[in-house]
Amino acid sequence: MSYFAVAIAWLFTAEALMVAGFGFPAADIAAPETLVLVHIVAIGWLSMCICGALLQFVPVLVGKALFSEAGALPALSLLAAGLTALVLGFLTLGGRLPPWLWLLPVGATLLVSGFGLLAANLVLTMWRARPLAFAARFVLIGLAALGATAALGVCFALALAGYGGTPLDAVLQAGVPLHAIAGLGGWLTLTAMGVSYRLLAMFMLSSDVDDRRSRATMLAGAGTLGLAVAGGLVAIVMQAGLDLVLALTAVCGVATVALYGRDVVELYRKRKRRTLELNTSMAVYALASLAASVVLGLALAASKSIVANVGAFVFLIAFGWLSGLVLAKLYKIVAFLTWLETYGPVMGRVPTPRVQDLVVEPRAAKWFVGYFVSVWVATALLLAGEYSAFRVAAFGMMVATAGIVQELLRVRRLADVTTRVRLPQGAKLPRLLHSGS
Ligand code: HEM
């Protein structure tokens, strides 16, 4: 719960910066201000949420307790400190602070320590539960991608601070697309896909996807990632240019998304819960955004305008697909954890509410729809080059996010539980930002 709270604070920060016109699209896509924005979204919001979800979810996936509960808080603190230092380092690059370029490697080291601690905790948890469940393998590939992203990030930070030398400078010159693909496509997207197989099956009472099919999707994802990172690095060493590697990565990436789409359609088709809950109906909007990103990417590539519009493309992936899925799933995860924490200890002894008694879906649905519509409008405005209107759409996203967060806070406070047994004897109101379960 603390990971989610910190993540949401970073999301608001990012949205406020976009409303204020800080970074892309007001600034260039490679400007230091854009790097601030990109990392607040990628690390502060999305990575923090995924890490929090994995700490909760990997033990459930493999049926073993987390290797170290005590390791979760230090990792969170290292990530928060590392991101702050990295962001200050980018502000230094942009001349907004004195030239303290050492902030970049300091931030990178703290981030690597935080991610490393977290990854070690998860890998050791999985190691004790061999042979691994399918979704856990997806998570392992995601963590490998995180390793590649962080390693490239460290090279960039050292090179930008002037400690690099020729080899690292070459990586900085050409390697940014590899870092972005490993981060957004590998770490965030593959992990979200892996976790979504289990969560969607669980929340829709659907049978798991056929093993052979889901393995094909996983292998396609791992192959795409390997091709992008290993092929890209070889191309950089050989000074061959990245065009061929990026084209092949795009083809494999589209194939991975198509296979994943086929699996997800099967999950929805085979569900036993006929009426969709809000988290699964909103996940459809996120999945539609993923499909739309693929179509947009292909259309931009066909019209040779991908370079000019890469910002809009990445925006749709980050806010439509990844953030949309995370927000939709948070709505259920927070309700479920709060229910477990409050009523778990007294279950079976007294009548307790159901998980769905903690939420008021029709009210929350308006905020979710507002969020997705704002994201889609914002993407269209980016494509049209309407940057002032984009800030209005970003404001719409911020208001909708505030509405969703207010719903999450109501869940934590059990504010919508109307049954007589809101707090039966022996049950305690949960703490807002820290889950005791
Ligand atoms: C250890 C953690 C990380 C460090 C130290 C780091 C560092 C950096 C640096 C220094 C750059 C700028 C390179 C340049 O000057 O062109 C950069 C760019 C970028 N990073 Fe990271 N990064 C980290 C993690 C991530 C993660 C987890 C993601 C995504 C999930 C990510 C996404 C990006 C993207 C998309 C860009 C390109 C942004 C642009 O050109 O506007 N980074 N990173």
Instruction: Give the end-to-end CA distance of the chain in Å, rounded to a whole number.
Output: 10
pLDDT tens per residue across span 123-166 = 999 999 988 888 889 999 999 999 999 999 999 999 999 998 88
Please report the pLDDT score of residue 436 as a whole number: 60
**Residue 357: inside a domain:** yes
CB of residue 38 inside a 6 A radius of ligand 1? yes
pLDDT value at residue 135: 80
Mean pLDDT within 292-298 = 97
Query: Which amino acid is located at 122 in the chain?
Result: L
pLDDT at 143: 98
- Residue 415 inside a domain? The answer is yes
Question: In this prediction, what percent of the chain has a pLDDT beyond 70?
Answer: 99
| Domain presence at residue 388 | yes
* pLDDT of residue 280 exceeding 70: yes
pLDDT value, residue 423: 83
Q: Whose CA is nearest to atom 8 of ligand 1?
A: 153
On whether residue 148 sits in a domain, the answer given is no
Measured by CA distance, the residue closest to atom 27 of ligand 1 is 183
- Say how many domains are in the chain: 1
141 lines ligand 1 (CB under 6 A): no
100-113: buried (b, 16+ CB within 10 Å) or exposed (e) per residue?
ebebbbbbbebbbb
233 and 240 Cβ atoms separated by less than 8 Å: no
Q: How far apart are CA 217 and CA 249, in angstroms?
A: 15
Q: Is residue 362 part of a domain?
A: yes
From atom 19 of ligand 1, which residue's Cα is the shortest distance away?
Answer: 180
Residue 399 lies in a domain: yes
Alpha carbon distance 327, 167 (integer Å): 40
Is 313 a member of any domain? Answer: yes
- Which pLDDT band holds residue 71 (cuts at 50, 70, 90)? very high
Average pLDDT, rounded, for the chain = 94
Tell which residue, 15, 8, 28, has the closest CA to residue 308: 28
Under DSSP, the state recorded for 350 is B
Question: Tokens standing for 370?
Answer: 């507002």
Tokens of 100: 């303290």
User: Once rounded to an integer, what is the mean pLDDT over residues 260-287?
Assistant: 94
Does 101 contact ligand 1 (Cβ within 6 A)?
A: no
In this prediction the pTM is: 0.95
Q: Domain residues for 298?
A: 280-437
290 located within any domain: yes
| Per-residue pLDDT, 420 | 67
Nearest alpha carbon to residue 23 among 40, 44, 5, 6:
40
Strand partners, 347: 350
Q: For 78-133, what is each residue's pLDDT tens digit?
A: 999 999 999 999 999 999 999 999 999 999 999 999 999 999 999 999 999 988 88
Tell me how far CA of residue 417 lies from CA of 140, 166, 353, 414, 428, in angstroms.
Answer: 38, 62, 8, 6, 14
Residues 6+ apart with CB under 8 A from 209: 197, 201, 263, 266, 267
Q: pLDDT per residue over 208-262, tens digit each?
A: 888 899 999 999 999 999 999 999 999 999 999 999 999 999 999 999 999 999 9
Report how far ligand 1's centroid is from the alpha carbon of 22 (Å): 17
